[in-house]
Amino acid sequence: MLVRALLSPSCLRWHLLLACMTVCHAVAIRSLDASPATELQVHHGPSVNSSPIIWPVDLPAPLSVEVSDLGSSKTTNFTASLPACDGRLYGRNLRLSSCMQLYHAMSSYTVPQTFGERSTGNYDAPLPFRYLSHDGLCALDLAHAAGVMSDTIAPVDLKVAARLLISVCVAQAPNEGGLLTGLGQNKALALRLVPYRPTVICGPDNSGPPWVSCRDIVDRMPANNKKQIFGPKGDARTTVVLPWKYTTTRQRCGLFVDGTEPGRTTDTGDWYKIWAAANAVDFMCTQLGRNGSATRLGDDKRLHVELRDMKDSNAANDELITTS
């Protein structure tokens, strides 16, 4: 199901990696003590600027982290900062079992991949990117440092970094979210571990579109935090006309943003939060073969986003298009 003609070779590699998130859903939660030991050695290097997506600017100098390759005989070496755990900035009371399910579902692929700002180039995976537990309660965000569009890292290194964040910030008191910086060949990537409270409703089994077509849409939709006014056509204040639709020419998956009163709703919000909600629908519903939606979005909670099967059309290609 995952091998579809609509994907470019670089996108296909990343979609196949993401498939591990679904395959590993049934993996039993293991304790952190069963994971390989982590040895930290101070490496005095330059500090790394934060991602532009509401992350702090003052970050610590990186540390050198050496971790055995998650059960294999190899060793993974990368540079990262010491995790900064802060409940005020990143939230508190994360569910350890949810974060561990997320961790075990992450890929252990050892080939480096390029992660870059969406719509700025042809990368293996878009930024920002969010890993999410299947109950939607634990989120792991990957983004780039300010002024840097992309960096390269092996997915197994991201998994190691995730375990480090979970073990330092969540498995110990006080239980809180955290930030890990200095990842990637140029130390330009950062991971943020935060709680998430989804407002997701999934449809019945087998009601959803092919998962890979929805993943492609979620990976390419806007995800910036610039304030927008979502509203009806003809309203001079409107910057995004509702309903807003993102689909493909074959229309197997459709992403819809609309209001509680179709055609008449006006609300303010940003694409980052709508993207995060669509990502939650993808992880919690479409990966499991279901349609789904997320509600109570926007500053006044009057917007919702939906991923659903648009069924078939006779179009020869499956290129992404957006309409409103």
Residues of the chain above pLDDT 90, percent: 44
Q: Is residue 54 left, alpha or beta, with left meaning phi > 0 and alpha meaning psi from -120 to 50?
A: left
Higher pLDDT, 20 or 80: 80
Reported confidence tier of residue 79, pLDDT bands at 50, 70, 90: low
Q: Average pLDDT, stretch 211-225?
A: 87
- Evaluate if residue 11 carries a pLDDT over 80: no
Residues of the chain above pLDDT 70, percent: 69
pLDDT 10s digits, 290-307: 999 999 999 999 999 999
Reported confidence tier of residue 81, pLDDT bands at 50, 70, 90: low
Reported confidence tier of residue 153, pLDDT bands at 50, 70, 90: very high
Q: Average pLDDT, stretch 151-157?
A: 94
Q: Average pLDDT, stretch 169-173?
A: 89
Q: Average pLDDT, stretch 254-272?
A: 88
CB atoms under 10 Å from CB of 279, counted, come to 27
pLDDT 10s digits, 101-151: 999 999 999 999 999 988 888 899 889 899 999 999 999 999 888 788 899
Q: What local confidence, expressed as pLDDT, does residue 321 receive?
A: 53
Residue of 240, 213, 210, 208 lying closest to 319 (CA atoms)? 213
- Evaluate if residue 40 carries a pLDDT over 90: no
| Across 20-24, 52-56, 213-217, 300-304, least confident range | 52-56
pLDDT 10s digits, 44-61: 222 222 233 333 333 333
Q: Average pLDDT, stretch 193-199?
A: 92
Q: Average pLDDT, stretch 172-188?
A: 89
Q: What local confidence, expressed as pLDDT, does residue 260 receive?
A: 84
Q: What local confidence, expressed as pLDDT, does residue 5 receive?
A: 33
Q: What local confidence, expressed as pLDDT, does residue 274 receive?
A: 94
Average pLDDT, the chain: 75
Token pair for 167: 């073990």
